Chain A
Amino acid sequence: QLQLQESGPGLVKPSETLSLTCTVSGGSISSSNYYWDWIRQPPGKGLEWIGNFYYSGNTYYNPSLKSRVTISVDTSKNQFSLRLSSMTAADTAVYYCAGSMGGISTQWGQGTLVTVSS
């Protein structure tokens, strides 16, 4: 059973860059079966898909965030990461990592709350 766990800072200052890591267990991040997604949810609001990474190296980003987002993979650690630059209060959210098959997010991490504040 695939399991995912997010890690990273809970507080980021405005204009800084957020870096989050998702550690995958129970499966290989190099598997051709999965896409590796980041999704976020502002407090009390709905879900927003940020982007994903496929083992072949292909990445897909939400155009609304594309200029600020980078998703990368560290196969040696079975991890994938999110970097989101120029953070503002509007980026305050719970950030989820997920493993997706055919576009369907079947396995999710528990989520990590990131607050943007000085």
Chain B
Amino acid sequence: DIHMTQSPSTLSASVGDRVTITCRASQSINSWLAWFQQKPGKAPKLLIYKASSLESGVPSRFSGSGSGTEFTLTISSLQPDDFATYYCQQYNTYPWTFGQGTKVEI
């Protein structure tokens, strides 16, 4: 299985901050990486796919980059609605695997 490691596990930030979350894969996954946002009691919501493509309807303050084994999710200016847990997921090789999550809190 491809192991996905996110850092940090928890991130304390304020409204307006620029936030960066890193996701590393245990082997190359090309650009087959997605980012999800999850709020308590809700299903994950797709933000980014193919490492850097913004899902329709997702605010442009979210962006993704990277390829191979190292990826980043950036929120350019953190908004109150962005406090949530973020997961990366590889879909290069079965079984699909997720990172352990990064909780963005105040």
A51 to B97, CA, bound (A): 11
Cβ distance A19 to chain B, nearest Cβ, rounded Å: 21
Q: Does A62 contact B (CB under 8 A)?
A: yes
Interface size on B, residues (CB 8 A): 23
* Binary interface encoding of chain A residues 78-118 relative to chain B, with 1 for a CB under 8 A from any of its CBs, else 0: 00000000000000000010000011111011110000000
- Residue A63 is within 8 A (CB to CB) of chain B in the complex: yes
Question: Which residues of A pack against B, CB within 8 Å?
Answer: 46-49, 51, 60-64, 96, 102-106, 108-111
Contacts of A46 in B (CB 8 A): 87, 98-101
Residue pair B94, A109 in contact (C-beta under 8 Å): no
Is there contact, CB below 8 Å, between B96 and A103?
Answer: yes
State whether B43 touches A111 (Cβ < 8 A). Answer: yes
- Inter-chain contacts of B97 with A (CB < 8 A): 49
Contact between B95 and A49 (Cβ–Cβ < 8 Å)?
yes
- CB-CB nearest 8 A-B residue pairs: A103-B91, A108-B43, A62-B95, A49-B96, A47-B98, A104-B49, A46-B100, A46-B101
> B47 to chain A: closest CB distance in Å?
11
Query: Could you tell me if B44 and A60 are in contact, using CB atoms closer than 8 angstroms?
Result: no
Q: Say whether B89 faces chain A, with CB atoms less than 8 Å apart.
A: yes
Instruction: Establish whether residues B94 and A60, one from each chain, have CB atoms under 8 Å apart when the complex forms.
Output: yes
- Does the CB pair B95–A63 fall under 8 Å? yes
CA distance A27 to B43 in the complex (A): 20
Tell me whether B44 and A108 are in contact (CB under 8 A).
Answer: yes
Q: Which residue from chain B places its CB closest to the CB of A105 in the assembled complex?
A: B46
Most buried by A among B32, B42, B91, B95: B95
